[in-house]
Each structure stands twice: as structure tokens, then as C-alpha cells.
Amino acid sequence: MSAITAIRRQFDVDAGRKDCRDCGAPIPPARLRLVPGAHRCTLCQERHERRSSPH
């Protein structure tokens, strides 16, 4: 399997995600409408961004 195929498959699996990748809580439908394919709930996404920030 090529790397591109693997990435596409991962995206396809995550696109149907309804629960937060980090905490397991359901991702609110409003967030999924605004951010299709969201992997995290808003709170976990904010935490992720703070951890990933270079500052």
C-alpha cells in the first residue's frame, strides 16, 4: 500500500469520527458542522493547540 493510500484511508476513517480522540466525549454536532472531520472536542482541541504552540 502506498503512503498516499494509507493517508487517505486514515482520513476516511477519521471523517466519520463522532467521539473526541483525546477524551472520548461525543463531539457536538454543531462543531462537526463548523469543522467537518474534527478529531477533538473544543476543549481538547484548545489544549492540543496550547501544547503545540511554540510559545
**Domains of the chain, start order:** 3-52 (1.20.120.910)
Query: DSSP code of 40?
Result: S
- What residues are paired with 26 via a beta bridge? 19
Give yes or no for residue 13 having a pLDDT over 60.
no
Supply the pTM of this predicted model.
0.65
Convert the pLDDT of each residue in 39-50 to its tens digit: 999 999 999 999
The span from the CA of 47 to the CA of 51, in Å, is: 6
Cα dist from 20 to 2, 4, 41, 54, whole Å: 28, 25, 5, 24
Report pLDDT for 33: 92
Burial 3-31 (b: 16+ CB within 10 A, else e): eeeeeeeeeeeeeeeeebeeeeeebeeeb
